[in-house]
Structure 1
């Protein structure tokens, strides 16, 4: 009887252990064999939002004489419209980039498929514009890199019926080796040429060489975002509207104190937000403020001290960050305490980088932290209407229908927080 009881307990314990999630092993950096193309062949094609009803198409050619022209239309092979844009290039030590083209097309109809061709030759691409009104779905993944796990993340995102991709920093992990920017562009082209990718910078985009190179030169040349359209003087911080959301992208590595240009721009941007037109207010930047992982502890504290009161007064609904190579979701929180008018903070720096996962957490788990796990994956945010949105996080080794974490979020507009804090926001915005 004792032996039988022992065996039964052992089986139960064994079943419990094996049922627990087992973190997968790292995957190697992807290899990109040399694939020679015509010098004028468009490469590394990606698109981004560029103001109301416009899209920026970016691509690279080896030929410096290639035109920065995009032909586009609603039917395959039939281009009723064309636009001409601008180009740039840069050198980095012994590396010289190709010709980097940026061409804005539009006005475009909402929620519509367009076919387009870059530079008058090469393959035809297909894009879909976001809807003008809710619902809208965002795919979210940060700290991507170029590993086997990156490929898995992109494959999972490709299964998601999303309208816009949001990336809170650390794109290519080129880390000074400029050819890695090119291979990253090749890797993401199938997705980034079809849906707008809205990105902000991380620490791996810095690439500073003292006395020789300022930071973010490669990033700024390759990933031009709508900073001018949003009144910003820097590609490192900007904002845009899409459907019923106003989304602000900030720079964790730009000055952000109350005397900085970024802070002044942020105040000006928030003063223009109309919550009747865009009831949802979201912010992305790289370094998380609410982080219970032992990795990068405290790195966001200074930015948090400077800007969180402004976010709170403005009733920011959701903050998305990367940097920590793990996933974590908070309650609505302000000043490190649960607050019904605070923002939900999500860390999603687990796209697939080569540095691996951040597996060690601070214990006990803080009261503001709801869910945390060190796994590679991506998030999906579906804003259903003016009052409700649904967030889900998907581990890479789970099938797409399996959600490792999900929850409904109620907008601060519908909770009364926006109206309650109007005077507080006005006072902050009017302060010189």
Structure 2
């Protein structure tokens, strides 16, 4: 009887809490333009110097001193688990210059290249077996009755033909299991025979227990944070709201905004891919240490569990075309438990949520150095999605999930049991729905690929970073407001060095002409509201028509807020998602103004299961022979089939408009 009374009381509190937020579908649109005076209170996106205590390595850092400690949320059951990660040692560089030692058979790198060779000794990182990776923990301060042991790893970022080669320190990762929910634990990390850290503490709140129905669940949301003073403010404001955990949607450090020597004023010559003439983007790897130190300090990374996914600034191709090295070595994801074979994408059941973390840059990338006997354009093509003909040298490719990841996604989402995890949240870096001029419709091909599956499976919320501003949509499917669709949230406003994106799509004075369409539309092509991008690999779709010309619209006229957009504002900040019960969640976005976290946008999200059969997917039944299968095979309810057929017809009509428009072009 007492438990029932408590349950009724909690439900009443949740409903009362929800009533203080207005349902998003009942709110008017709001568009807040950038204001020099108002936004100036945030200060510039000024990088924190590496000597600042916010980001500097610990004093008296020795070869075995643990530093940059952070916690990643892992799978749970009756008890919880986390990955605890840290660094030991310091990074170093090997300079590729003429005074390097003369060649020997062990260090020769010339056989594959027809031009005069350069030689070097193979760089060496610390031996991972030389330092133990151990976490000692317990329920009382100073009394560690449990021990977990993990492994260490390191990496090399090579610029063999020009520029320094980076040799990392060791990165330790330990899986700590059996953590009781709702109780604080105390822990130390390090090698007991060499050096241990000070004491840290963390608590996995009972709301994180999968399928337990413990509400509310409070989630902090950040992305594109970087290492500026605004980044620190974003972390601190998010932590001040005492979230159960924090999700970070990519672009963590922005190390690739720096040359390989870290000196913006006097950068090194741009390195190239194996003497092909194709240059590559540089990156200053020690900047990652500033990021992880800021995460441990301002972000309370050793006490609050995080979940991470990669963005484009994590790609960081080196001369051997290796990607995501800093990210995958420094951060540990619980990918194995969701049958993923790749640490860049995974899923996790957290409380009442099934959370899917995807890699927007997951297409194939060659593992070998580019053949030297090819042209620059051929080299760019060989880079695959890790580059493009227009941009072969940057860390900024076209986006693709890739076959393996997309097939894993279809299998993963088909296994969701809405009776256990009523909320399904999917996340990746690039937003399909974005009404800012920067990155506008950049992910349109990806949207056309994945959105029908998101809708068919009743996904509730989709979140992103990438665009350095804030935007929230209404429930949307294929650009139309649909109460059964997904809420899309863009949270790339974490405070990074590149600053805010201040202008909206097709806003007068912000558009550039695309000559190939100028002859079609005339009038000097003042804005691209009717002119799709000419960039290869970007899908151009149209929504509505221009009342003045009758032409289909690729972007809103004169920067108008599109109908899918509920709220948009170019300010730094963070979000808090609070799941109140099986059908209600409240969303709050806080801007970093005046040094305080100011609530700017609030909305109630409701899962209308009565009107939306896609929100009540059937209970998952494993394949008869076990293992994974290629596509979802369960039978859909007739009401859902009709609902999906209508949505599919709308999508087909949209594609037909694109095809007809292209065919009609001269």
- TM score, norm. by length of structure 1: 0.90
Contact 1:313–1:422 at 8 Å: present in 2 too?
A: no
State the Cα distance separating 1:27 from its structure 2 match: 3.3
Tell me, yes or no, if structure 1 residue 404 matches structure 2 residue 404.
no
Q: Select which of 180, 191, 199 maps to 2:308.
A: 199
Partner of 1:10: none
Q: Which residue in 2 is equivalent to 1:117?
A: 188
Tell me the SS of whatever aligns to 2:632: helix
The CA RMSD over aligned residues, in Å, is 2.4
Match for residue 379 of structure 1?
575
Shift of 1:391: 0.5
Residue in structure 2 matched with residue 152 of structure 1 by the alignment: 233
- Partners of 1:260 and 1:311 lie apart in 2 by 17
Does 2:65 correspond to 1:41?
A: yes
Which one of the candidate residues 127, 139, 144 is aligned to 2:202? 127
Measured after TM superposition, the shift of residue 295 of structure 1 is 0.6
1:184-333 pair list within 5 angstroms: 184-190=291-297, 191-210=300-319, 212-255=320-363, 260-333=403-476
What is the Cα deviation at residue 340 of structure 1? 1.0
Alpha-carbon distance in 2 for matches of 1:78, 1:142: 36
Q: Deviations over 1:121-171 (max 9, x none)?
A: 121111111322221100001000001110111111121110111011100
Aligned mates of 2:60, 2:362 — CA distance in 1: 38
Change (3 A) 1:419 1:152: closer
- 1:81 correspondence with 2:146: yes
In structure 2, the residue corresponding to 1:229 is in which secondary structure?
A: helix
Correspondence 1:50 to 2:50: no
- Any conservation in 2 of the 1:30–1:147 contact (CA below 8 Å)? yes
Task: Provide the C-alpha distance between the structure 2 equivalents of 1:268 and 1:28, rounded to a whole number of angstroms.
Answer: 43
Match of 1:60 in 2: 87
Partner residue, 2:486 = 343
> Quick check: 1:317–1:412 contact (8 Å CA) kept in 2?
no
Unaligned runs of 5+ in 2: 1-32, 90-125, 159-164, 257-282, 364-398, 506-558, 623-629, 635-666
Distance between the aligned counterparts of 1:218 and 1:414, measured in 2?
A: 46
CA offsets 1:105-126 (integer angstroms, 9 cap, x no match): 1111112211110013121111
Cα 1:412–1:59 change in 2 (3 A) is farther
**Segment drifting more, 32-41 vs 50-59:** 32-41
Tell me the matched-pair count: 412
- Determine which of 70, 74, 84 is the counterpart of 2:135: 70
Q: Are the aligned partners of 1:257 and 1:263 in contact in 2 as well (CA < 8 Å)?
A: no
Residue aligning to 1:13: none
Partner of 2:277: none
Q: Is 2:290 the counterpart of 1:183?
A: yes
Deviation at 1:188, TM superposition (A): 0.7
1:420 and 1:380 map into 2 onto residues whose CA distance is 25
Q: Distance in 1 between matches of 2:325 and 2:488?
A: 29
Q: Distance in 2 between matches of 1:419 and 1:326?
A: 30
User: Is the partner of 2:45 in helix, strand or coil?
Assistant: coil
Q: Note the residue ranges of structure 1 that are not aligned, 5 or more in a row.
A: 1-16
SS in 2 for 1:430: coil
Partner of 2:254: 173
Deviation sequence 1:388-409 (CA, Å, 0-9, x none): 1111000011575731001010
Partner of 1:96: 167
C-alpha distance in 1 between matches for 2:291 and 2:402: 36
- 1:287 is displaced (CA, Å) by 0.3
Once residues 177 and 259 of structure 1 are traced to their aligned partners in structure 2, the CA distance between those partners, rounded to angstroms, is 28
* 2:633 corresponding residue in structure 1: 430
2:465 equivalent to 1:394: no
Distance in 2 of aligned mates of 1:281 and 1:136: 14
Residue pair 1:130, 1:242 contacting (<8 A) in 2 also: no
Give the number of the structure whose residues are more often strand, by fraction. 1
1:29 aligns with: 47
Q: After TM superposition, give the deviation of residue 231 of structure 1 in Å.
A: 0.7
How far apart are residue 82 of structure 1 and its match?
0.4
In structure 2, what is the Cα distance between the partners aligned to 1:20 and 1:144? 21
The answer to whether the Cα contact below 8 Å between 1:279 and 1:413 also exists between their aligned partners in 2 is no
Report the alpha carbon displacement of residue 428 of structure 1 after superposing the two structures with TM.
6.3
Aligned mates of 1:22, 1:338 — CA distance in 2: 31
CA distance in 2, matches of 1:419, 1:248: 16
SS in 1 for 2:178: coil
Q: Deviations over 1:238-273 (max 9, x none)?
A: 000111111000111013879701111001111211
